[in-house]
Structure 1
Amino acid sequence: MLKDERQAFIMRQINLHNKVLSTDISAMLNISEDTVRRDLKEMAEEGKVLKVHGGAISRSFHYPFNADNAVYAQSAKQQIAQKIIKLLKNDMVILTGGGTTMIELAKSIPDNLRATFFTISPLVALELVEHRNLTVISIGGQLSPSSHVHMGASVINQLADIKVDLCLLGANGFSVQDGMTDSDWEVVQVKRAMIRAAKKLAIISIAEKLNSSQRMKVCDLNQINYLITELAPDNHFLSPYQQLDMELL
């Protein structure tokens, strides 16, 4: 595989999953980790990605408010945000994760919605607090330098003390075979705590992320009430999910 093809593949994986590990790319492409590291170093020097220990992350994920960093699939994420809004009712208590889709949601919430939002993302909190009728509570802990969400035992302990109507979580990996998955063990533990705190769970994903799996299980499909993508619920691409006991939006 030529260097341009390798780097295009790496860029797509980063756009889809926000972060890649050199070991995973090496296995996917059957190339050495040294080759992957050289590619990531070159891509970082060109300003395409941010190099981190063991891999790289998306610039738009790390700096979502920087206008120079285009949000991947922004139009699709804005469509998802509009669908989420239909689930939100006055006086609901809602819990959110982080990520660019959540930020698009926070920007789009109608000013007349009266609700309480808990979030592990300070970036999402900053957008939510601009809406005068929302009560915004940030779940605090150690701030992840790559994903800009709070992690760790203090977050999990705080989540154990609340019960929300709806939890909104972005999916890193999602498939019929493996359920919802992620690549970071700490993230998995926080997401599991968020799910335990919620009466209902909505998983948010652009369609490109579906039918993909990461290394670690977050939850099974039977724990999910809603799957929200930019596609129409009857789209043929969603056929593996149409027979499951969850509502497609």
Structure 2
Amino acid sequence: MLTTHRKQQILSILKRQGQVIAKEVSAAMSVSEDTIRRDLREMAQEGLLQRVHGGALPASPAVADFTQREQIAPEGKVAIGRAAAKMVQPGQVVILDGGTTARQVARHIPLDLKATIVTHSPTIALELIDHQNIEVILIGGRLFRHSVVAVGASAIETIAQIHADTFFMGVTGIHPKTGLTTGDYEEAAIKRAMSHAAAETIVLASAEKLNAASPYAVVPLSEISGIITERSAEKTLLRPYEKLGITVTRA
């Protein structure tokens, strides 16, 4: 079987089953596992999938820069942002992640709501500039330009001093096998620190992030309380999370 044909078959399996197990694919195609692993390496370099131990998972498309990501599923992100904003209660301390979906949360917080928003994103802080009753705590650090957020040791130290009610987390991938993942090592550490600083973590996940994975783990699914996704998301994609007792809100 030609390499091109093998890779097409691998993508077909990935789409149909949501994962590729190298041992099973090598047996089905009558080629060695080394050959399949080489195919997977090459496909991962092309951004077609995310390699994991023993095989591969779908790669998240949400790894482009901030401007490009704003063009991905904009209507879905607006709906998710609106639903998340409704969950913010008066007097709460809420940590709001950076990213394009979190930006929609900030835009839909009522102007008269009195609460505290903690964020490491200057973009989010600017969205809240006209919310006179919102106290904004902006966490500083080294600017990670890809997501326009602060990262680094000083940011993590500041986050450790906060005890928030809720953390609205943005990720590039959420998968029953790998949990919550993102595309940068330092950004993963910041998200993990913010999750540990809140009583509950709710994940903002537009449909393209479901059943997808990125290189760096944030937290396992056992550490989150809820997921907000688009109404159009396939129920079969959401079922594994509901079985784990995670509250899934379809916005």
Query: TM-score, normalised to structure 1's length?
Result: 0.73
* Residues 1:28 and 2:48 aligned together: yes
Give the aligned partner of residue 16 of structure 1: none
5+ residue gaps, structure 1:
2-21, 30-55, 63-69
DSSP 3-state at the match of 2:118: strand
The gaps in structure 2 that reach 5 residues or longer are 4-41, 50-62
Aligned to 1:185: 185
In structure 2, the partner of 1:36 is none
Tell me how far 1:145 sits from its aligned partner: 2.1
- SS of 1:83's equivalent? helix
CA distance in 1, matches of 2:66, 2:164: 32
Counterpart Cα distance in 2 of 1:123 and 1:23: 34
1:97 shift after superposition: 1.2
State the one-letter code of the partner of 1:99: G
In 2, Cα distance between the equivalents of 1:235 and 1:28?
Answer: 24
Counterpart of 2:33 in structure 1 is none
Cα pair 2:97 2:170 within 8 Å, conserved: yes
For residues 127-181 of structure 1, give each alpha carbon's deviation from its aligned partner in whole angstroms, at most 9, with x where no partner exists.
0122111111100011112221000000000001110000011111110111001
1:131, 1:228 → 2: CA distance?
24
Letter in 2 for 1:175: H
- 1:131 counterpart residue number: 131
CA distance in 2, matches of 1:114, 1:59: 29
C-alpha deviation, 1:236, in angstroms: 3.9
Change (3 A) 1:59 1:23: farther
Which aligned pairs between 1:51-130 and structure 2 lie closer than 5 A?
57-58=64-65, 60-61=67-68, 71-130=71-130
Count of equivalent residues: 198
> Could you say which residue in structure 2 is the equivalent of 1:220?
220
Q: What is the alpha-carbon root mean square deviation over aligned residues?
A: 2.6
Structure 1 distance, partners of 2:46, 2:109, is: 41
CA distance in 2, matches of 1:185, 1:200: 23
Tell me the equivalent position of 2:36: none
Question: Matches of 1:178 and 1:24 in 2, distance apart?
Answer: 16
Structure with more relative contact order (C-alpha pairs < 8 Å, separation 6 or more):
2
Q: Which amino acid aligns with 1:57?
A: A
Q: Which has the larger radius of gyration?
A: 2
Deviation readout 1:57-88 (Å, 9 max, x if unpaired): 336258xxxxxxx6321110010011102211
Determine the C-alpha separation between the residues in 2 that align with 1:130 and 1:230.
28
Q: Sequence identity of aligned pairs in percent?
A: 34
Return closer, same or farther for 1:129/1:27 CA change in 2, 3 Å cut-off: closer
TM-score (norm 2): 0.72
Cα distance in 2, alignment partners of residues 230 and 215 from structure 1: 24
Partner of residue 199, structure 1: 199
Say whether the 8 Å CA contact 1:95–1:167 is kept in structure 2.
yes
Closer/same/farther in 2, CA of residues 160 and 73 from structure 1, 3 Å limit: same
Equivalents in 2 of 1:123, 1:158: separation in Å?
A: 19
CA distance in 2, matches of 1:152, 1:23: 31
Aligned mates of 2:92, 2:103 — CA distance in 1: 19
CA contact (8 A) 1:173 1:212 kept: yes
Instruction: Decide whether the 8 Å contact of 2:128 with 2:136 is kept in 1.
Output: yes
Question: Any conservation in 2 of the 1:61–1:99 contact (CA below 8 Å)?
Answer: no
Aligned equivalent of 1:171: 171
Q: Name the aligned partner's letter for residue 220 of structure 2.
A: D
